[in-house]
């Protein structure tokens, strides 16, 4: 009698829930694969769809690089999964990624996860399509023209010089990653959104905190309930919008003053007025938030990686200093940089390229299949999300020998000249290539000039563990001691 009771208890409390869970997982797998296109002769990519409803989102958020490496090793360069509420195919490798990036509007269309669309907004450049995307892209590109970048350089140099001065004056270690985010935030506020230094000073602390909260929850489950990631992200976004709105209203009032230098946000407003297409305040705020995210989060990530790689490779620092000293002897004014002088810094550019190869700040991009199509022997069903991987594609690129080594010299000649250019894609590719890439290159070169000519630095914890969320960053924030460099 007792044995029967124990057996019954065991079956009800342990065995039955396990069986029901396994049944639910199996039914979930069957349900998620029902949308295979029967008219397409190719099979679905290999992979697994994870747990019911949440798929493999939690594993990705918690494990990131480990999860992605395990998946690639198990299933190859193309595999299926279920992320952020969507059936998803993840794609790696130059030839595969090339088909995705060049298939925009024909095979795929840009579509970020629901949480990203909800927080950044549906009227941002990354989320609009067709003629609207073309018009908005054209307007913003004017703000990243050669002439516009020339105007930004003095502001960038001023902000970097002020930050370097603070680091050198600090008696304790500097947490590089938070400092980079603060520096790049100020630069983006000034040259992309047109804020005056006094305006930034007043609200900087609150804005930076809100932006951190928004970015932290950018990729979250699409569930808007109190205390959820999406709820916190939207709340932070709303605070940022409220702070930006006053400056936007001022811009709208002053948009007829053609003599005034134009920032990226002003270009959007001017373009709207010129084309007599009214643009809502909400749309402008969304564009401002997107510019702020794209213009400071990725550059902060790369600037941090530069400090890290150079701190680990002192011979590269010596070569950088030698290039800058040689240019100074030839008459280059390093205290008053311009586009022409920055273009002459070839090795400096190679250091940035190599940093972007190993640690691309954005690990990949999101698309949605417009129709069922074949990719390397697998079918990609209509409606499925397609994530192309930048970091994994760099990892498997055949044109880079000794991939783990930091070797800027590899870029002194174009390694992609005689092979697929899609083996190196730090800024994406196709019609959705990052429109701020030239701005990023200019900013990072100015940053390197200032840091290398004025500082020695030591990484106090050695090589850090790198994480992603949503951009690449060091887990320990890269504690570093800066001291003055005096040329001998």
Domain count, the chain: 1
> Does residue 318 lie in a domain region?
yes
Q: Half-sphere exposure (CA, 13 Å, Cβ side) for 89? A: 29
C-beta separation of 423 from 399 below 8 A = yes
Burial bucket for residue 161 (CB in 10 Å: 0-12, 13-18, 19+): middle
Which pair of tokens denotes residue 167? 């680091």
- pLDDT at residue 259 tops 50: no
- From residue 99, give the alpha-carbon distance in Å to each of 353, 367, 375, 391, 444: 24, 12, 8, 17, 30
- pLDDT at residue 3 tops 60: no
Spatial distance between the Cα atoms of 249 and 162, rounded to a whole number of angstroms: 30
- pLDDT at residue 393 tops 90: yes
**What CATH number is given to the structural domain containing 418?**
1.10.630.10
Percent of the chain predicted with pLDDT > 70: 87
- In this prediction, residue 236 carries a pLDDT of 92
> Does residue 105 lie in a domain region?
yes
Q: How many Å separate Cα 260 from the centre of its chain? A: 31
434 is in an annotated binding site: yes
User: Residue 481 — very low, low, confident or very high, per pLDDT cuts 50/70/90?
Assistant: very high
Burial bucket for residue 441 (CB in 10 Å: 0-12, 13-18, 19+): buried
> Does residue 13 lie in a domain region?
no
Nearest Cα neighbor of 222 from 345, 118, 340, 74 is 118
Phi, psi (5° rounding) for residue 176?
-60, -45
> Does residue 66 lie in a domain region?
yes
Mean pLDDT of the residues in the chain: 86
Which pair of tokens denotes residue 383? 């409606």
Nearest Cα neighbor of 78 from 64, 60, 90, 66 is 90
- In this prediction, residue 55 carries a pLDDT of 84
Phi, psi (5° rounding) for residue 472?
-75, 135
User: Residue 381 — very low, low, confident or very high, per pLDDT cuts 50/70/90?
Assistant: very high
Interval 50-66 mean pLDDT: 81
Residue showing tokens 């940093």: 355
User: pLDDT for 365-380, tens place per residue?
Assistant: 999 999 999 999 999 9
Nearest Cα neighbor of 485 from 462, 451, 459, 448 is 451
- In this prediction, residue 15 carries a pLDDT of 59
Instruction: Between 343 and 139, name the one with better pLDDT.
Output: 343
- pLDDT at residue 280 tops 80: no
> Does residue 245 lie in a domain region?
yes
How would you classify the pairing of strands 385-389 and 86-91? parallel
- In this prediction, residue 169 carries a pLDDT of 93
Domain extent, residue 161, equals: 33-484
> Does residue 284 lie in a domain region?
yes
> Does residue 259 lie in a domain region?
yes
- In this prediction, residue 5 carries a pLDDT of 60
Residue showing tokens 């190869």: 357
> Does residue 118 lie in a domain region?
yes
């Amino acid at each position: 009698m007792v044995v029967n009771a124990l057996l019954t208890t065991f079956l009800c409390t342990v065995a039955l829930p396990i069986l029901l869970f396994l049944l639910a997982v199996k039914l979930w797998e069957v349900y998620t694969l029902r949308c295979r296109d029967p008219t397409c002769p190719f099979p679905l990519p290999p992979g697994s769809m994870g747990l019911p409803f949440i798929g493999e989102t939690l594993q990705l958020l918690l494990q990131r690089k480990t999860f992605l490496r395990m998946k690639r090793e198990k299933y190859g360069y193309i595999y299926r999964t279920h992320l952020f509420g969507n059936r998803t195919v993840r794609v790696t490798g130059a030839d595969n990624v090339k088909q995705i990036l060049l298939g925009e509007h024909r095979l795929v269309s840009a579509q970020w996860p629901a949480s990203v669309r909800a927080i950044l907004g549906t009227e941002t450049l990354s989320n609009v399509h067709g003629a609207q995307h073309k018009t908005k892209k054209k307007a913003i590109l004017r703000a990243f023209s050669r002439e516009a970048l020339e105007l930004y350089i003095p502001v960038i140099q001023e902000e970097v010089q002020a930050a370097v001065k603070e680091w050198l004056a600090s008696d304790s270690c500097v947490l590089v990653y938070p400092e980079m985010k603060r520096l790049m935030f100020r630069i983006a506020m000034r040259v992309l959104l047109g804020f005056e230094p006094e305006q930034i000073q007043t609200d900087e602390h609150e804005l930076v905190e809100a932006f951190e909260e928004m970015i932290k929850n950018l990729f979250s489950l699409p569930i808007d309930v109190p205390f959820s990631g999406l709820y916190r992200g939207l709340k932070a976004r709303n605070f940022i919008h409220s702070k930006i709105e006053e400056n936007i209203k001022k811009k709208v009032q002053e948009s007829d003053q053609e003599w005034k230098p134009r920032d990226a946000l002003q270009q959007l407003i001017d373009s709207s007025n010129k084309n007599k297409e009214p643009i809502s305040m909400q749309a402008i705020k969304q564009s401002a938030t997107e510019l702020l995210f794209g213009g400071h989060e990725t550059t902060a990530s790369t600037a941090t990686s530069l400090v890290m790689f150079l701190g680990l490779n002192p011979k590269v620092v010596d070569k950088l200093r030698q290039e800058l000293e040689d240019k100074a002897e030839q008459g280059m004014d390093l205290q008053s940089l311009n586009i022409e002088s920055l273009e002459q810094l070839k090795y400096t550019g190679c250091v940035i390229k190599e940093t972007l190869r190993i640690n691309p700040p954005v690990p990949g991009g999101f698309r949605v299949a417009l129709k069922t199509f074949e990719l390397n022997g697998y079918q990609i069903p209509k409606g499925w999300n397609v994530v192309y991987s930048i970091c994994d594609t760099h990892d498997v690129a055949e044109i880079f020998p000794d991939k783990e080594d930091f070797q800027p010299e590899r870029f002194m000649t174009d390694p992609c000249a005689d092979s697929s250019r899609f083996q190196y894609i730090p800024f994406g590719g196709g019609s959705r290539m990052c429109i701020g890439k030239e701005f990023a290159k200019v900013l990072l070169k100015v940053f390197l000039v200032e840091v290398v000519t004025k500082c020695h630095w030591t990484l106090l914890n050695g090589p850090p563990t790198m994480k992603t969320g949503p951009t690449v960053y060091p887990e320990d924030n890269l504690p570093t001691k800066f001291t003055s460099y005096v040329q001998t």
